[in-house]
Structure 1
Amino acid sequence: MDVQLRRPKLLLELVEQKAIMASFRGEEIQRLGCFAKLAVKSPIDAFNLFLTRDLVKLIVEQTNVYAASNGERSFQVSEEEIFTLLGVLLLSGYRPYPSRRFYWNLADDKENYLVANAIRRTIFESILQFLHLADNSKLVPDSMFKVQPLFDSLNEFFKIMSLGKSCTVDESMIPYYGHHVVRTKKWWWPFFGWAVDVSCVQGGFYIG
């Protein structure tokens, strides 16, 4: 399977857009206490602190390994393709459609050339199908094993980040209706998503 991209810089474009970062510019970033000690001069610099190149390389490696283990040995995903996939997911957060395939539908009431020109739908779905962060051959009895590398990477960043003088702690809901492993939840209770602890600094920006 030959995976090719037409516009691999989609993620960079999305992070720079006002729809994602509002007026989040370099000089404003420096004024936020949480980034005061870090070399952050642009929105994409801030984003890369959370999603490091090492983590992306791990995702690429494990995704290709998982695809090969499922008989798709010609499937090879690249770092730029992972960034593009993440860009589409970011876009879907503030411009949702009833169906994911609508992002590639060029009808007048649905057209979204940003996504359609960045990656083919079949390629996007193939990457999602094989997306992995951990090696299945080294499974351990931990329900979070398959996403633990992501948590480890984020925790390393949070260790060096200063919260600054003004910071609030709250939670944010992430809609989710699929399978979950919440053992303490009774089967007859509805499940609408995950509650994630977040912190906000002056200006209203989430930092984790």
Structure 2
Amino acid sequence: MAMHAYGHEWACQLVYNLHLISGLGLSDGEGMECLWSHFIKLIGIKRVSSRQCHVWLLDHHATAIGYEMQMELGDWIRCHLKKGVCEQGSATQEVLDNCGVSITELRKQWASQRAVQLSIRAHAPVKLKKELDTVLALQADLDTTTKVIQVTWATIERGNVTPGILDALASVERSHTRLIVKAEAL
């Protein structure tokens, strides 16, 4: 889950980033990386085993990892306390106290911002850009066919008329008409 967030867009960050999930706090992701490093040993074994064996293997391995991590919990807490958890908490509280906005209001603003950024409308600029590219390409095609029609008529006016030129002109004029209809539909 944590690794998913870092390779994707902001919307993925909002949903999967451990720093932004309520209740996880300022996790450095170390716990998740540690867990994955323990499970990586099972990849080769799982490839050739059945689904029931997968579940059993994962369950027993997770239990063993949990027991091992529980035995090392004191060292882990001591290490994180040395990293300055108290100082970070104090600094954070000071910023919150000095900002002049209540925590309730900040939470409402965050929920509102998150909802907007996860909405489909937030991705409208990408869709709008594609539509604009389509219109510009259509306009370029219209310009090209207009120029071809003008050159062909100039050739006809000089007296260089062949059945092939007339057929080509008719074809280009039909294409031009279809492009105009498409442009008007947009």
Comparing both structures, which one devotes a greater share of its residues to helix?
2
Instruction: Assess same fold via TM > 0.5.
Output: no
TM-score bracket, normalised by the shorter chain, equals: under 0.3
- Choose between structure 1 and 2 for higher RCO, CA contacts under 8 A separated by at least 6 residues: 1
Compute the TM-score of the two structures, normalised by the length of structure 1.
0.19
Q: Which has the larger radius of gyration?
A: 2
Q: Give the alignment's TM-score, normalised by structure 2.
A: 0.21
